[in-house]
Amino acid sequence: MFQSLWRSFRHAFRGLKTVFKTEKTFRIQVVIAFLVLLLAWQRQLDIKSWLILIVTIALILSLEIVNSALERLVDILAPRTHAFAKEIKDLAAATVLLASIFALIIGALIFL
């Protein structure tokens, strides 16, 4: 039981390593998240604000990983052979963009 659980964790950490090494946007988002958390610590935010920030950061980083996975999947299944391939990639990227815009609004409301 613990072996299969450990194997699952190894796969997940390998995925994090892959996205960190291959996706510039993910690295930028990690740096921004770190800066936001430093600012939250410096401002001594209340626990509710911390929770909102952490959930928002987790959402953005998770969506970026899903976006990267979808892009790779589309490249395998329909590499430039179908009109929807580009559209699927654009829609996945739009998801991250939309969540990032709302994360910016959330951050502005908390810090300002």
**Which residues are identified as catalytic?**
64
| Domain contains 13 | no
| Domain contains 2 | no
Q: For 6-22, what is the mean pLDDT? A: 95
| Domain contains 6 | no
| Domain contains 93 | yes
Measured distance CA(106)–CA(40) in Å, rounded: 13
Average pLDDT, the chain: 94
Q: For 15-27, what is the mean pLDDT? A: 96
Q: Structural domain tally of the chain?
A: 1
Q: What is the pLDDT of residues 54-75, one digit of tens each?
A: 999 999 999 999 999 999 999 8
Q: Where does the pLDDT of residue 79 fall: very low under 50, low under 70, confident under 90, or very high at 90 and above?
A: low
pTM for the predicted model, two decimal places: 0.90
For 40, the domain range is 24-111
| Domain contains 70 | yes
State the pLDDT at residue 80.
65
The fraction of the chain above a pLDDT of 70, given in percent, is: 98
Closest Cα partner for 110 from 30, 71, 28, 55?
55
| Domain contains 14 | no
| Domain contains 17 | no
Q: Where does the pLDDT of residue 3 fall: very low under 50, low under 70, confident under 90, or very high at 90 and above?
A: confident
CATH number for position 44: 1.10.287.3610
| Domain contains 78 | yes
Give the contacts of 79 (CB within 8 A, at least 6 positions apart): 85
- Measuring CA to CA, how many Å separate 46 from each of 5, 37, 108? 35, 13, 15
